[in-house]
Structure 1
Amino acid sequence: MSEVCVKVALRVRPLLPLEVLQNHKVCVRIVPDSTQVMVGSDRLFSFDHAFGPTATQDEVYNSCVQPLVETLLRGDNATVFCFGQTGSGKTYTFGGGNLGEKGGIIDRVAENVFSLLGEKKNSDGVETTVRVTYLELYMEELQDLLESHNTDKELFISKNDKGNTVVVGAKEIVVTSAEELLSIVEVGNVLRHINITGMNEHSSRSHTILTLQVVKGFPNSNPSLKSSCSSKLCLVDLAGSERARKGNKGSQHKESAHINRGLLALGNVIRVLADRARNNCNSTHIPYRDSKITRLLQDSLGGTAHTLMVACVSPSHHSVDETVGVLQRAAKARRIRNCPTATSTHTEAD
C-alpha cells in the first residue's frame, strides 16, 4: 500500500481597502518563482503550492484541486479543506454558487466532475451516480444542511464495514449536473450559521462538509453479481480561528470558543501525525476523538484519502501572530502520510 503526503497550498489574500486606509503594512510575501513564503524579514516556510494576492481562482484550482477530481474519478477518496484565520479569504477561495470566473473550489469542482463524467460516459458506457451530502458542525453539533433545522433528527459519526468514516442519518441527494449540485449548495447555505463579528462582516460560525460520492457500476462475468466502485470527495470549509481579544461577546464568544477548541484539537492531530511521520513511529496515539471535526477528518489525515490543505492568510502586520500560527500548522501537515485505497464491492443482483 503506497503512501502519499498531504499536500499544502498557501494563499495570501490582498490587503482589504479598509486595511489600506488604516495603513496596514504587508508582512507576508511569496518568494518569486518559488513555493516559499516569507513572513517579515527572517521567517521562511515552504509548501507544495504558493499563491500571492494576484493569483486567480483558475490558477489555484488548476494547479492543485483539479488533480484530485481526476483522482476521485479513478476510484480513490480525496479531501480538500480550507484552513486559516477568520477574514483570511477562505470563503472566497472555497466559493459555492458562482459559475463565473470568480467561482471558487466548489463551483469549479461541480463543473469539472460532470464535464469529465460526460466524457467518460461517451467513451466507456459505465453507469455512474453522484450522491451529495452537506453537513454543518455548529457548537459541536452536527446539522444536515439538506434538511430544515426544525427536523428532529440525530446524526452520528461512525465507521462503515470498510473502516471509512461516515455520518449515519445524513440525507443523500442524487445530482446529475453542476447546476443541480450548486443549487443544492445554495439552499444549504441559507441554513448555515453566519454572523457579523469584530473581524469579519460575513463570518462562518461553523464548519461545513460537502461530500460528493461517485458510484460506478461495472459489468461482471458472473451475472448474479453487480460490481461497483465507490469513491468520495470531501470539501471542508473550516470556520476561522479567532482571538478572544478581537472583541466577540455573548453568543459570539461561545461560538468562538467552540470553533477554537475544534481547531486546537485539529492542530494537535496534525502535530501528532507529523511527529509520527518524522520519527517513523506508528504506535503513537492520535487524538481524533477530542473533537467531532477531527473525527470527520480521520480518513483525510493519516487515513485513506488524497488530501489537500488550502491555508489562507492575511498579509497584514496586524495579523502576523495568527498568520504564523497557520503557517506552522500547514508546514507540519505536509509531513502527514496517507495510504489512499480504491473501494470496490460485489453485491448480489436483484
Structure 2
Amino acid sequence: MSEVCVKVALRVRPLLPLEVLQNHKVCLRIVPDSNKVTVGSDRLFSFDHAFGPTATQDEVYDSCVQPLVETLLRGDNATVFCFGQTGSGKTYTIGGGNLGEEGGIIDRVAENVFSLLGEKNSDGVETKVRVTYLELYMEQLQDLLESHNTDKELFISKNNKGNTVVVGAKEIVVTSAEELLSVVEAGNVLRHIKTTGMNEHSSRSHTILTLQVVQAFPHNNPSLKPSCSSKLCLVDLAGSECARKRNKDSRHNESAHINRGLLALGNVIRVLATRAQNNCKIPHIPYRDSKITRLLQDSLGGTAHTLMVACVSPSHHSVAETVGVLQCADKARHIRNCPTATSTH
C-alpha cells in the first residue's frame, strides 16, 4: 500500500478596500517563481502550491484540485478542505452556486465531474452520483438537505470497510452540474452565517459536501473491476477568530466552539506530522477530541488523497493569526495517507 503526503496550497487574498483606506501594510509575499512565502524579513515557508492575490479561481482549481477529480474517478477517495482565519477567503475559494469565472472549487468540481462522467458513460460505464451536505455547528451535526425542524439525529460511525460515515444523513442522487449546485444553494440557505467583528458574512459552522461516485464497468472488459465506489469531500472550515477581535455577545459561544474544534484539528495535524517526520508509532491520535477531527479521520492519516488550501490575509494587523495558519499548514505537508481504491464487491 503506497503512501502519499497531504498536499498544501497557500492562497493569499488581496487587501480589502477598507484595509487599503486604513493603511494596512502587506506583511507577507510570495517568492517569485516559487511555492515559497516570506513573512516579515526572517520567516520562510514552503508549500506544494502558492497563489498570490492576483491568482484566479481557474488557476487554483487547475493546478491542485482538478487532479483529485481524476483520482476520484479512478476509484480513490479524495478530500479538499479550506483552512484559515475568518475573513481570509475560504468560502470564496470553496465556492458553491456560481458557474461563472468567480465560481469556486465546488462549482468547478460539479462541471468537471459530470463532464468526465459523460465521457465514461459513452464508453458503456454506468455511473451514479450521490450527494450529502452537512453542517457542524456548536459541535452538533445538522443535515443541510433537510429542514432544521426535522427531528432526527446524525451519528459519526465506521462502515464495514473502515471508512468514516455519518449515519442518518440524507442522500440525493444528482445527474448534472446544475442539479448538484441547486442542491448546494438550497443547503446554503440553512447555514449559520453572521456578521462578526472581522467578517461581514462569517461562516459560523464547518460544512462538509460529499460526492459519492458509483461506477459499474462493462462486463466484457476483464481488466476492470465490476464496480467501484469513491467519494470526494469538500470541506469549508469555519475561520478562527482572535478573542480581542470578535464581538462581545452571544457569538462568543460560537467562536469558542469553533476555536476548540480547530485546536483539536491542529493537535491531530501535529501528532500525525510528528509520527511521519520521526518515522515512529504513536498509539493515540486524538481524533475523538472533536467531531470535525472524527469527520476528517479518513483525510488525515487515512485512505484519501488530501489537499489543504490554507487561506491567509496579507494585512499586518493579522500577522500573528497568519503565522499560526502557515505553521499548521507546514506541519500538514508531512502527514502521510494510504489511498486505496474501493470495490463495491
How big is the shift at 1:345?
2.2
How big is the shift at 1:248?
1.8
Could you tell which deviates more after superposition, 20-29 or 210-219?
210-219
Q: Deviations over 1:252-284 (max 9, x none)?
A: 000000000000000000000000001101233
How big is the shift at 1:251?
1.9
8 Å contact 1:97–1:186 — kept in the other structure? yes
Change beyond 3 A, Cα 1:144–1:41: same
Are positions 1:341 and 2:340 aligned together?
Answer: yes
How big is the shift at 1:167?
0.1
Change beyond 3 A, Cα 1:135–1:122: closer
8 Å contact 1:92–1:104 — kept in the other structure? yes
2:237 equivalent in structure 1: 238
8 Å contact 1:219–1:226 — kept in the other structure? no
Equivalent residues in 2 for 1:153-172 (5 A)? 153-172=152-171
Q: Deviations over 1:89-121 (max 9, x none)?
A: 1111111000000000000000000001111x3
How big is the shift at 1:294?
0.1
Q: Deviations over 1:6-55 (max 9, x none)?
A: 00000000000000000000011000000000001110000000000000
Give TM-score scaled by structure 1 length. Answer: 0.96
Give TM-score scaled by structure 2 length. Answer: 0.98
8 Å contact 1:205–1:255 — kept in the other structure? yes
8 Å contact 2:12–2:52 — kept in the other structure? yes
Q: Match of 1:66, SS?
A: helix
For 2:33 and 2:125, the matched residues in 1 are separated by 42
Q: Aligned residues, how many? A: 345
Change beyond 3 A, Cα 1:291–1:164: same
**Please, which runs of 5 or more residues in structure 1 have no aligned partner?**
none
Q: Deviations over 1:56-86 (max 9, x none)?
A: 0000000000000000000000000000000
Are positions 1:127 and 2:126 aligned together?
Answer: yes
For 1:105 and 1:211, the matched residues in 2 are separated by 13
Q: Deviations over 1:117-143 (max 9, x none)?
A: 111x35421100000000000000000
8 Å contact 1:97–1:185 — kept in the other structure? yes
For 2:19 and 2:312, the matched residues in 1 are separated by 14
8 Å contact 1:8–1:47 — kept in the other structure? yes
2:197 equivalent in structure 1: 198
Could you tell which deviates more after superposition, 211-220 or 234-243?
211-220
For 1:283 and 1:11, the matched residues in 2 are separated by 32
Change beyond 3 A, Cα 1:254–1:125: same
For 1:225 and 1:94, the matched residues in 2 are separated by 33
8 Å contact 1:13–1:52 — kept in the other structure? yes
For 1:112 and 1:228, the matched residues in 2 are separated by 21
8 Å contact 2:124–2:217 — kept in the other structure? no
1:26 equivalent in structure 2: 26
Equivalent residues in 2 for 1:308-319 (5 A)? 308-319=307-318
How big is the shift at 1:293?
0.1
Q: Deviations over 1:195-220 (max 9, x none)?
A: 00000000000000000000011345
Q: Match of 1:225, SS?
A: coil
What's the Cα RMSD here?
1.9
8 Å contact 1:157–1:296 — kept in the other structure? yes
Q: Deviations over 1:230-269 (max 9, x none)?
A: 0000000000001111132232000000000000000000
1:70 equivalent in structure 2: 70
For 2:245 and 2:223, the matched residues in 1 are separated by 63
How big is the shift at 1:226?
10
For 2:248 and 2:134, the matched residues in 1 are separated by 26
2:218 equivalent in structure 1: 219
8 Å contact 2:124–2:218 — kept in the other structure? no
2:206 equivalent in structure 1: 207
How big is the shift at 1:285?
1.1
Change beyond 3 A, Cα 1:22–1:306: same
8 Å contact 2:225–2:343 — kept in the other structure? no
For 2:174 and 2:267, the matched residues in 1 are separated by 36
